[in-house]
Every structure is written in C-alpha cells, then in structure tokens.
Amino acid sequence: MSIKLIDGVPVQATTIDGIDADAVCSETEIDDKIAAALLLKINTGTWVGDNAGNKAIAHGLGVIPKLVLISSITSGSMGWVHGTINRNTFQDSYANVANWDATNFYVSKITCNMNLPGITYHFVAFG
C-alpha cells in the first residue's frame, strides 16, 4: 500500500477489487450518469407542406426520435411518425418513409397526407 495526498492530507491508498479507489466513481457521479441516460428529450416545431414524397424535417433533438406526434390545425388532420430502429422501418401512420437520424425525421404525402402543399404542420418529437 502507498500513501497519497488528498486535499493535502496523507492517506493510505486503497483498492476495490484491484482498482485504485480514486478511479471509482462517486455515488453522485453514478447518479448523474444514470439521470443523463434516462433523460427524455422533447422538442417542438413546424413545417409547411410541399407535397414531397419523403420530406426531411429537422427535429432538433440530437438523437434519433422514438416518436413524433404531428398535427395540422388548418387541415384538421393529425397523426404520428414512429420507428422500429432494429428493423429500419419508419412510418408516417401508414406509409414507410426514409430512416430517421439524429437530425431529421421524414414524412410523406402518401396515404395519410402528412405533407400536403401549403398546410402548416406542428410536431412534438420525443427522443
């Protein structure tokens, strides 16, 4: 065993399962890491439809969304975009759309009309 200075005070160095005790995270550090991992990210935004078949919408989460809720006040329609990342299948209610990423989700005008021209759409993205 060796002697170390901690805050100017000599203390005997210890190990936990062969790892220097100084390398072990404190309970607070562990709690902070768990909280950061569990933190739900939420962002909102709008876009104006342009009739594109696979329109990219920036969601601002910095992570791939798990769910995006969409509403349009002017057309009276609403829907959702969801993904199954392990299967690489993303749908806007009924139609498959391009795979999401940490920057964009995608919508289409096929079947459920999530990108009609001139319509303002509002979204809430959860990541």
| 51 and 113 belong to one structural domain | yes
| 75 and 117 belong to one structural domain | yes
Residue 118's contacts (CB-CB under 8 Å, 6 or more residues apart) are 48, 49
| 30 and 50 belong to one structural domain | no
d(CA 54, CA 7): 59
Residue 114 confidence (pLDDT): 78
d(CA 77, CA 61): 24
d(CA 95, CA 34): 36
| Domain span holding position 23 | 3-38
Q: How confident is the prediction along the chain (127 residues), in pLDDT tens digits per residue?
A: 556 666 666 666 555 555 555 555 566 777 777 777 677 889 999 999 998 878 899 999 998 888 888 888 776 666 666 554 444 444 445 555 667 889 998 887 765 677 888 989 888 988 8
Residue 75 confidence (pLDDT): 62
| 8 and 33 belong to one structural domain | yes
| 74 and 46 belong to one structural domain | yes
Q: Taking the model in full, what pTM does it have?
A: 0.60
| 84 and 55 belong to one structural domain | yes
| 34 and 47 belong to one structural domain | no
Residue 67 confidence (pLDDT): 82
Residue 46 confidence (pLDDT): 94
CA dist list (Å): 105 to 19, 95, 97, 125? 44, 14, 9, 9
Number of domains in the chain: 2
| 15 and 72 belong to one structural domain | no
Contact between residue 57 and residue 97 where contact means Cβ atoms under 8 Å apart = no
| 31 and 46 belong to one structural domain | no
| 29 and 61 belong to one structural domain | no
d(CA 91, CA 105): 10
